Amino acid sequence: MGDEIPFFHKVEVPPKQTLFQEFKHNVKEIFFSDNPLSKFKNRSGSRKFVLGLQAIFPIFEWGRGYNLKTFRYDFIAGLTIASLCIPQDIAYARLTNLDPQYGLYTSFVTPLVYAFMGSSRDIAVGPVSVVSLLLGTMLKEEISDFKSHEYLRLAFTATFFAGITQMALGVLRLGFLIDFISHAAIMGFVAGAAISITLQQLKGLLGIKNFTKKADIVSVMRSVWSAMPHGWNWQTIVIGVAFLVFLLITKYIARKNKKLFWVSAVAPMVSVILSTFFVYITRADKKGVSIVRHIEKGVNPSSASEIFFSGKYLGAGIRIGVVAGMVALTEGVAIGRTFAAIKDYSLDGNKEMLAMGTMNIIGSMTSCYIATGSFSRSAVNFMAGCKTAVSNIVMSIVVLLTLILITPLFKYTPNAVLSSIIIVVVLGLVNIDVVLLLWKIDKFDFVACMGAFFGVIFKSFEIGLLVAVVISFAKILLQVTRPKTAVLGKVPGTSVYRNIQQYPEATQIQGMLIIRVDSAIYFSNSNYIKERILRCLADEDVQRIENEFPRIQYLIVEMSPVIDIDTSGIHAFEELYKSLQKREVQLVLSNPGPIVMEKFQASKLTDLIGENKIFPSVADAVATICTKGQEL
Amino acid sequence: MGDEIPFFHKVEVPPKQTLFQEFKHNVKEIFFSDNPLSKFKNRSGSRKFVLGLQAIFPIFEWGRGYNLKTFRYDFIAGLTIASLCIPQDIAYARLTNLDPQYGLYTSFVTPLVYAFMGSSRDIAVGPVSVVSLLLGTMLKEEISDFKSHEYLRLAFTATFFAGITQMALGVLRLGFLIDFISHAAIMGFVAGAAISITLQQLKGLLGIKNFTKKADIVSVMRSVWSAMPHGWNWQTIVIGVAFLVFLLITKYIARKNKKLFWVSAVAPMVSVILSTFFVYITRADKKGVSIVRHIEKGVNPSSASEIFFSGKYLGAGIRIGVVAGMVALTEGVAIGRTFAAIKDYSLDGNKEMLAMGTMNIIGSMTSCYIATGSFSRSAVNFMAGCKTAVSNIVMSIVVLLTLILITPLFKYTPNAVLSSIIIVVVLGLVNIDVVLLLWKIDKFDFVACMGAFFGVIFKSFEIGLLVAVVISFAKILLQVTRPKTAVLGKVPGTSVYRNIQQYPEATQIQGMLIIRVDSAIYFSNSNYIKERILRCLADEDVQRIENEFPRIQYLIVEMSPVIDIDTSGIHAFEELYKSLQKREVQLVLSNPGPIVMEKFQASKLTDLIGENKIFPSVADAVATICTKGQEL
């Protein structure tokens, strides 16, 4: 039994776990992989309470070390994002087909809640373009008359259930579910949404009155085209294009010189003020330039009683809420993670969900619609040097002051300038370099990205998202269905065996064939792997006989990458063993992992193959075969 | 770099493939993994034609070596399965709610077609219990009056589209799709179907007249119970139970002594003859014993004009055909593979699909319903010593003779005896040992099996199948979402590094932490893997400092099992690198595979990490770090 060979070790089976231990371990890894309770161990009762409070409201944790110096940074960042968020809020509310004040309401309440509960220090919370358009499109499919009170009530209902969805995901610790939407898919989805939103804004920018209600590119372009001869309004176009050019220039300046980021941050506010003043003195609104007209003054009214908890719109509210809530969550968490990675702190996905869920539930009762982390404002927040979520509080207070004091001043703001603001923001989300990189690195990611992109622009948001998720999954399944195998050879001068395609100098051993299986072996691939190994053996045998090498007597299957196996896989190994026996080839296994060894023993496969034919490494197997030969 | 160390090798990147090569390779592995055209290479035109003919009709290949001696075996096997199939055909037709002759028609035409085109030598083709019940249930949901002509036409329509589905899968080389239904799921599904069919047979066995049309266990048991006081017919029960006991005894004998398999094979025929004779002389049918009454005499009439190619039933026909066709295919291929593995010949999945598709299409035009490989008859065929598909031809001819000559004799056959035959066959499909083995080896497979089982018995066939497929996939996705990582240590006296949990004697190296990632790195797990590595590093560092060991300066990530990585994975590595830099820990990689290396280079990650920090093995990495230390 190989004990003459100094480096021979038996392949060991780890101590068997009871079913309960195994189950507990699996549950822990899925739901509590971050081990959230470790902090609570060995603490007194009152300390546990404080820690629990801090876990739910991180502000009590970082707030204790908060000082005036930090506040100075947060104050400046807060003012900057406030000047950006006010015009955006008014513009995004239009995407949702709601009156402009609802955008401002949202930017007042939700950042306050987030500041107490969120764990990101950089994201700026409020209405965002993608979610606003998604919500607007889905609401209009249910209730086409968006001036009706039902429409507004359905918006609050959807917001409420979006919050419930997000909170439920956090409480049930299902944070990992949003990992299922790949980065590539999000890129495509956002780019598609950006194009889609931009095209929608042609309505405002060109002053078109009769516009399609659909969001796909074909309907929109047809609308624009058919309105061409008389439907366009040149005064609107002049205002819109002028400020579009202005915003693009400020953006260009900010990109060239990172220190001048505030130029592009305050540009929307400047545009709104200038254009409002211009329309007011020229009375361009009498010449067909569409204006905001009226914004309600005062703080958020309560809307708790407006939410549908029964009736025919309840189902629609839940459906829209779940979809929009998931999209909002994905975007918010992705943005939060991006900035957390830059500053190297960790973001707790489940905690973020809880925070966003709570803020949307409270929002739905205070006349807000779905809010999440905004990419454009978070980036400005970060660049302006924010330190904590206090910048969100500052922004919220500025919005409050705006609501109380100056909303009537926005009466003459032309819609065209709001369209320009939206276009400039969303076009910034299209990142061609990243898409090119996807193409270079991983073609499948590129396809997922393009699938989401074209799904959104040609069909709808939901279809785009669905396409992306399906393609992402197809990739995983394909890899598990048609895994790779590699023929190994000995790297000269070492005892290491490597893929002969990757290491052309690696040489095969006479009389043996060494194959590595590069995947877990499951029902979906067990048959394929078995047949592939047999085919490889047959091909190799023919080749060796042609070259007058001895025929293959030993098949060594290197199992290091085989991290798991199921009953179908074990069945396939039994069949492989029988087929090899008929061909007078010995089956030798190298380095099966702990789980695989356990299952081999449970199924008595180790007895069938022979424990003396299972080695801890290929080198061991080869050395033993060379020494003992036929005795094995 | 490191050339002083004798065994140092650079990690190589395989020669880059063009996009087209890569695409071609992938398509080949998915659709043509068996390399079906290799035989045709370097052959003359006429030879190619012969090979092509043989590829579609394997009978031309094995038929050439066919001789009288082989025929003797096939003849005996054919007679044996014919005597088994005639009573089964009549019984299974009842499951489909069709007249008994349609079962016989199916057993005449489809085995002939299969004999020419099939590549299995052992399976016996014809109507089978599971598919018959599935078809019957689904048809009755569409047209509740199963005596109507529409019902029959819909059956042929479904059969036609089942054939089209099967053929399409074969022609499009989508054979791998049926690998997606795991063995464990099939076990549960079949066991559930067996219980479901058995309960349905209580109607015939107890002579109940008013019986539910639903297939789930609750409805059926309620039906049986409510009919209890007066609905049961004791004469029927006597006949049914008597022959049930007789059949079970013969089955027991056959199991105890394999040579007496023919006892259980001819028992159904004997039961039919005896019970028919008994009913005929006692005129028990006048006392409420339900009998077959009438079987049409003569060969299959044409039914090509009966298939719905338009109208309101076309959609239903397609839907039922696709579902039943997939189930039939899965069962047929699974049975074929089982026997092919025993005799060690290979079964071509795509060819099987083509054969089964053709036989069902032809069947749908000649008054047959969906046929596939039958487990009970195939087992008898195998035990009776069949050598080729000629046994199917023999069976088919016997059925033909039955149809022409003796069908009127079945008039007095009691339905109770048919129920007994069905019960005994299907209960043989429940294999508790295998289920126990599933539990022992793989808990997840067990859950999939149970999901399918309970889905079938409590809800419906489709739900059971759906549950099984979803659970099977969930397992794969779970594994890809929460992969394992392992801390490695050096196995004493070797240069091999292994999981310290599996090899407790393996020792860790001071100042280094070696972690192996046991999965491809995709969007669904990249974030988890990154955080898991960092958490492991933090935990390990605390422990080492407590034990007064030096702190960890090098993190070696062993990447042998990482067979693929996507852009999210690369992103995660970038973030990992940055986080480690802040902690003053060096990131070192060991043995990335060819695909991973290619993507690392394409994304310039190799430049970021430094090519001198990527080693072909852990031993190389450790040796180099020990030699060069801080210079690295």
Q: Is residue A582 less than 8 Å (CB to CB) from chain B?
A: yes
What confidence tier does A399 reach under pLDDT thresholds 50, 70, 90?
very high
Å from A547 to nearest chain B CA?
20
Q: What is the mean pLDDT of residues A216-238?
A: 83
Q: A150-154, A375-379, A396-400, A461-465 — which is least confidently predicted? A: A461-465
**What is the rounded CA–CA span in Å between residue A85 and residue A273?**
14
How much helix, strand and coil, in percent to the nearest 5, is found in chain B?
65, 5, 25
Measured between beta carbons, which residues in chain B are less than 8 angstroms from residue A185?
Answer: 523
Q: A165-169, A471-475, B175-179 — which is least confidently predicted? A: B175-179
- The per-residue pLDDT for range B374-417, each reduced to its tens digit, is 988 898 898 888 999 999 999 999 999 999 998 888 888 898 99
Q: What is the mean pLDDT of residues B62-66?
A: 86
- What is the model's pLDDT at position B196? 86
Cβ B30–A597 below 8 Å, yes or no? Answer: no
Q: Is residue B441 less than 8 Å (CB to CB) from chain A?
A: yes
Is the predicted pLDDT of residue A21 greater than 80, yes or no? no
Q: Is residue A22 less than 8 Å (CB to CB) from chain B?
A: yes
Closest residue, chain B, to A449 (C-alpha): B567
Is the predicted pLDDT of residue B161 greater than 50, yes or no? yes
Q: What is the mean pLDDT of residues A123-146?
A: 90
What confidence tier does B1 reach under pLDDT thresholds 50, 70, 90?
very low
Helix (H, G, I), strand (E, B) or coil at A508: coil
B375-383 and B261-282 are packed helices; what angle lies between their axes, rounded to 10 degrees? 120
The predicted complex's ipTM stands at 0.76
Average pLDDT of chain B to the nearest whole number: 86
Is the predicted pLDDT of residue A363 greater than 50, yes or no? yes
Closest residue, chain B, to A16 (C-alpha): B502
Measured between beta carbons, which residues in chain B are less than 8 angstroms from residue A27?
Answer: none
Residues 6+ apart with CB under 8 A from A126: A85, A88, A89, A106, A107, A110, A111, A371, A374, A377, A395
Is the predicted pLDDT of residue A556 greater than 90, yes or no? yes
Q: How far is CA A254 from CA A373, A379, B68, B271, in A?
A: 22, 12, 90, 92
Measured between beta carbons, which residues in chain B are less than 8 angstroms from residue A6?
Answer: 493
Structure-token match 């590829």, residue found: B55
- What is the model's pLDDT at position A1? 35
Å from A625 to nearest chain B CA?
18
Cβ B518–A593 below 8 Å, yes or no? Answer: yes
Q: Classify B13 in phi/psi space as left (phi over 0), alpha (psi -120 to 50) or beta.
A: beta
Residues 86-145 of A with CB under 8 A from B: none
Hey, what are A504's tokens?
């052309």
Helix (H, G, I), strand (E, B) or coil at A298: coil
Is the predicted pLDDT of residue B493 greater than 70, yes or no? yes
- What is the model's pLDDT at position A2? 37
* Three-state DSSP string of B126-158: ECCHHHHHHHHHHHHHHCCCCCCHHHHHHHHHH
State how beta strands B485-490 and B512-517 pair.
antiparallel
CA B513 and chain centroid, separation: 43
Q: What is the mean pLDDT of residues B160-170?
A: 94
Residues 27-56 of B with CB under 8 A from A: 29-30, 33-35
- What is the model's pLDDT at position A518? 84
- What is the model's pLDDT at position A630? 56
Q: What is the mean pLDDT of residues A570-589?
A: 89
Q: What is the mean pLDDT of residues A79-101?
A: 91
In terms of DSSP H, where are the helices of A482-617? 526-546, 567-582, 594-602, 605-609
Q: What is the mean pLDDT of residues B186-206?
A: 85
Closest residue, chain B, to A178 (C-alpha): B524
Count of residues in chain B? 632
Is the predicted pLDDT of residue B441 greater than 60, yes or no? yes
- The per-residue pLDDT for range B325-370, each reduced to its tens digit, is 988 998 888 888 878 877 777 777 888 899 999 999 999 999 999 9
Q: Classify A311 in phi/psi space as left (phi over 0), alpha (psi -120 to 50) or beta.
A: left
Count CB neighbours of A504 within 10 A.
12
Cβ A184–B478 below 8 Å, yes or no? Answer: no
Cβ A33–B502 below 8 Å, yes or no? Answer: no
- The per-residue pLDDT for range A455-470, each reduced to its tens digit, is 988 888 778 878 877 8
Is the predicted pLDDT of residue B78 greater than 60, yes or no? yes
Q: Is residue B539 less than 8 Å (CB to CB) from chain A?
A: no
Containing A129, the helix (H) or strand (E) segment is: helix A129-142
Helix (H, G, I), strand (E, B) or coil at A603: coil
Q: What is the mean pLDDT of residues B278-305?
A: 87
Residues 166-225 of A with CB under 8 A from B: 176, 179-185
State how beta strands B124-126 and B372-374 pair.
antiparallel
Is the predicted pLDDT of residue B5 greater than 70, yes or no? no
Is the predicted pLDDT of residue A221 greater than 70, yes or no? yes
Q: Is residue B520 less than 8 Å (CB to CB) from chain A?
A: yes
Closest residue, chain B, to A594 (C-alpha): B502
- Taking only Cα atoms into account, the Rg of chain A, rounded to an integer number of angstroms, comes to 31
Numbers of helices and strands, H then E, in chain B:
24, 8
Cβ B183–A571 below 8 Å, yes or no? Answer: yes
What confidence tier does A7 reach under pLDDT thresholds 50, 70, 90?
very low
Cβ B481–A176 below 8 Å, yes or no? Answer: yes
Structure-token match 């994201």, residue found: A123
- The per-residue pLDDT for range B124-155, each reduced to its tens digit, is 999 998 899 889 988 988 898 888 999 999 99
Helix (H, G, I), strand (E, B) or coil at B13: coil
- What is the model's pLDDT at position B2? 37
Q: Is residue A597 less than 8 Å (CB to CB) from chain B?
A: yes
Measured between beta carbons, which residues in chain B are less than 8 angstroms from residue A452?
Answer: none
- What is the model's pLDDT at position A3? 37
A432-441 and A443-458 are packed helices; what angle lies between their axes, rounded to 10 degrees? 140
Is the predicted pLDDT of residue A154 greater than 50, yes or no? yes
Q: Is residue A329 less than 8 Å (CB to CB) from chain B?
A: no
Measured between beta carbons, which residues in chain A are less than 8 angstroms from residue B481?
Answer: 30, 176, 179-180
Q: A109-113, B107-111, B122-126, B528-532 — which is least confidently predicted? A: B528-532
Containing A514, the helix (H) or strand (E) segment is: strand A512-517
Considering the entire predicted model, what is its pTM?
Answer: 0.74
- The per-residue pLDDT for range B8-31, each reduced to its tens digit, is 456 666 666 677 777 777 777 767
Is the predicted pLDDT of residue B6 greater than 50, yes or no? no
Q: What is the largest CA-CA distance in chain A?
A: 102
Cβ B179–A346 below 8 Å, yes or no? Answer: no
Q: Which residue has the higher pLDDT, B18 or B452?
A: B452
- What is the model's pLDDT at position A13? 67
Cβ B617–A496 below 8 Å, yes or no? Answer: yes
Residue from B564, B603, B614 to probe the interface with A (highest A Cβ count within 10 Å): B564
**What is the rounded CA–CA span in Å between residue B250 and residue B261?**
9
Asked if residue A307 lies in contact with residue A420, where contact means CB atoms within 8 angstroms, the answer is: no
| Backbone angles phi and psi of A518, in degrees to 5 | -100, 50
